[in-house]
């Protein structure tokens, strides 16, 4: 994603790469990423050089960056998934002093899918069985994906229920009949799949599928840069891509 962001920012008038920060053992440290910008492990210097930082890393690194950014009151765009309670707490504390955009997926198409699945769930109701299947490359660490969870929660919102009370992440063994209103979630890992998500609603003698397939990380980079340009100057708080796109 770092490389995708650098490539997507080239030639844009609204954003400019001013710093590139990586982990201390990264192979590319010391290399020039764009004119005048050298990859570094100095997070503080990177934050000082920018108006907003974009974070696609790991939960621990996201927590560290959010804690440092709070001291700098620095706006953020965060796309890291798989955050735990302590990571979420650090992000929430940053949002107390600076505006941040947090999303599991920065694609315009995916955010439209969220609206469509919520509307479908509201109209169809829990008598239609809802299942979400997501597929990603073999190196992805968290499952289900953050985007799949967003879709599951959108379906739950359409049903007017709490997702955590109706979710079923994978099935194995004698699980019994499918309960009414259950939202199923399955994960597939393999190859170099950028990201595929499909929400299926199963009715009597018919079914509806709403899906999205990403073929390049450039769509996520373009969305993140759009969010970065949008968030600077906003009041402190936590925003998402629906805010950025004006869909709320």
- Domain 2-102+217-244 and domain 108-214, same fold? Reply is no
Write down the domain spans for the chain.
2-102+217-244, 108-214
Q: Three-state SS for 48?
A: helix
Choosing from 72, 74, 137, 140, which is the catalytic residue?
Answer: 140
pLDDT number for residue 222:
92
Domain 2-102+217-244 architecture: 3-Layer(aba) Sandwich (3.40)
Residue 248's pLDDT band (cuts 50, 70, 90):
low
Q: Please state, rounded to an integer, the average pLDDT across all residues of the chain.
A: 95
To which residue do tokens 């009949």 refer? 177
For residue 200, the tally of other CB atoms under 10 A from its CB is: 16
CA 153 – CA 162 distance, rounded (Å): 8
Total residue length of the chain: 248
Is the per-residue pLDDT at 82 higher than 90?
no
Q: How confident is the model at residue 64 (pLDDT cuts 50, 70, 90)?
A: very high
Task: Taking residues 1-5, report their average pLDDT.
Answer: 90
pTM over 0.85: no
The pair of three-digit structure tokens given for residue 85, joined into one six-digit string: 């309670």
Q: What is the pLDDT of residues 122-146, one digit of tens each?
A: 999 999 999 999 999 999 999 999 8
CA angle (80, 134, 146) in 5-degree steps: 20
Q: List pLDDT tens digits, range 149-206.
A: 999 999 999 999 999 999 999 999 999 999 999 999 999 999 999 999 999 999 999 9
Token couple for 47: 């934050």
Query: What does the pLDDT read at residue 104?
Result: 86
The active-site residue out of 72, 74, 136, 234 is 136
Q: What is the pLDDT of residue 69?
A: 97
Q: Is the pLDDT of residue 111 over 90?
A: no
Per-residue pLDDT at 204: 95
Rounded distance between C-alpha atoms, residue 68 and residue 45, angstroms: 11
Measured from the Cβ of residue 231, the count of other Cβ atoms closer than 10 Å reads 21
User: Using alpha carbons only, how large is the chain's radius of gyration in Å?
Assistant: 19
Question: Kind of pairing, strands 99-102 and 76-78?
Answer: parallel
Q: Please report which confidence band the pLDDT of residue 19 belongs to, taking 50, 70 and 90 as the band edges.
A: very high
Across 156-242, where does the E strand assignment appear?
A: 167-169, 183-189, 195-202, 207-214, 237-239
Architecture of domain 108-214: 2-Layer Sandwich (3.30)
234 is catalytic: no
- Catalytic, 169? Answer no
Q: What pLDDT was estimated at residue 65? A: 97
């Amino acid at each position: 994603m770092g490389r995708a962001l650098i490539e997507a920012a080239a030639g844009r008038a609204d954003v400019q790469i001013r710093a590139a920060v990586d982990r201390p053992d990264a192979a590319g440290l010391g290399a020039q990423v764009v004119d005048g910008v050298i990859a570094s492990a100095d997070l503080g210097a990177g934050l000082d050089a920018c108006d907003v930082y974009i974070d696609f890393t790991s939960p621990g690194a996201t927590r560290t960056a959010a804690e440092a950014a709070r001291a700098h009151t620095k706006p953020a765009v965060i796309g890291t998934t798989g955050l735990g309670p302590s990571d979420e707490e650090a992000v929430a504390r940053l949002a107390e002093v600076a505006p941040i955009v947090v999303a599991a997926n920065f694609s315009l198409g995916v955010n439209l899918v969220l609206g469509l699945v919520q509307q479908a769930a509201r109209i169809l109701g829990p008598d239609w069985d809802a299942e979400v299947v997501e597929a990603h490359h073999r190196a992805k660490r968290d499952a289900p994906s953050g985007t799949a969870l967003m879709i599951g929660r959108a379906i739950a919102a359409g049903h007017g229920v709490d997702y955590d009370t109706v979710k079923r992440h994978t099935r194995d063994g004698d699980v019994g009949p499918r309960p009414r209103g259950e939202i199923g979630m399955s994960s597939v890992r393999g190859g170099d799949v950028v990201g595929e998500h499909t929400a299926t609603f199963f009715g009597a003698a018919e079914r509806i599928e709403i899906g999205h397939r990403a073929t390049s990380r450039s769509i996520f980079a373009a969305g993140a840069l759009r969010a970065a340009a949008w968030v600077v100057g906003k009041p402190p708080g936590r925003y998402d891509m629906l805010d950025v796109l004006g869909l709320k």
